[in-house]
């Protein structure tokens, strides 16, 4: 009989997720294909660190970049958030916004996210941090963004959630335009260039 631990690992593998120390592969062939995605996000509504409700409708009108992290993460999340901080600075002269979605919303309350956001110099008008019901967030990530996320309560502290570290570019109409690795400088450069171009088109 398969143990619960093995079933959990198999499920995580089926989602092609990132354990908090290794990067995942997307369910597409190659980086170039991933960077040419095109599908519309479903409606959603989560809570920003300010306490305001933020959803797909809120974000229409300007392109945005989504990333997934949790404040207790002992793996790649601080580095990923650092990359997003750099992207925020590089796109400061555009209308592009950034959105970090917590994959550990039960601990990442708006108050916790405010402190975390401040540690990365997040502009409250341009870089949003979202939390909410865990089931709603996981469904949004898995079915909306088509990425993996899986909780493992038996993992070491700071490694309880396996998730993708890809950055997702979304256009002004709420359509996903591509996935970009946060691990390589070239991919981040391409993301910044594409986001800048989308911002010009949205004017």
pTM, to two decimals: 0.84
At 5, give phi and psi (nearest 5°).
Answer: -65, -45
Distance CA 164, CA 182 (A): 10
Q: Give the pLDDT score at 144.
A: 97
Residues of the chain with pLDDT under 70: 1-32
| CATH architecture under which domain 62-201 falls | 3-Layer(aba) Sandwich (3.40)
Q: Give the pLDDT score at 169.
A: 98
Each domain of the chain, given as residue ranges in start order, spans: 62-201
Q: Give the pLDDT score at 31.
A: 53
The answer to whether 115 and 88 have CB atoms below 8 angstroms apart is no
- C-beta neighbour count of 187 within 10 angstroms: 20
CA 115 to chain centre: 18
Structure tokens at 7: 């079933």
- pLDDT above 70 coverage of the chain, percent: 84
Residue bearing tokens 């398969």 = 2
Q: In sequence order, what DSSP letters do the residues of 98-116 get, joined into one string?
A: EEEEES-TTT--HHHHHHH
pLDDT in tens, 3-54: 444 444 343 333 333 444 333 333 433 456 788 889 999 999 999 999 999 9
The answer to whether 168 and 23 have CB atoms below 8 angstroms apart is no
Question: To the nearest whole number, what is the mean pLDDT of the chain?
Answer: 87
């Amino acid at each position: 009989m398969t143990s619960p631990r093995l079933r959990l690992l198999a499920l995580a593998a089926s989602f092609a997720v990132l354990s908090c120390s290794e990067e995942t592969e997307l369910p597409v062939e190659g980086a170039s294909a991933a960077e040419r995605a095109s599908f519309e996000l479903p409606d959603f509504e989560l809570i920003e660190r300010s306490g305001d409700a933020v959803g797909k409708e809120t974000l229409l009108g300007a392109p945005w970049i989504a990333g997934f992290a949790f404040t207790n993460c002992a793996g790649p999340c601080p580095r990923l958030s650092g990359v997003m901080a750099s992207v925020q600075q590089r796109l400061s002269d555009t209308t592009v916004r950034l959105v970090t979605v917590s994959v550990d919303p039960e601990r990442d309350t708006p108050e916790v996210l405010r402190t975390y956001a401040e540690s990365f110099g997040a502009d409250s008008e341009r870089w949003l941090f979202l939390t909410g019901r865990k089931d709603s967030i996981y469904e949004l990530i898995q079915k909306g963004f088509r990425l993996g996320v899986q909780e493992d309560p038996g993992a070491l502290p700071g490694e309880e959630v396996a998730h993708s570290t890809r950055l997702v570019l979304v256009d002004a109409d709420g359509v996903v335009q591509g996935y970009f690795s946060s691990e390589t400088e070239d991919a981040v450069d391409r993301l910044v260039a594409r986001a800048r171009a989308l911002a010009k088109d949205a004017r």
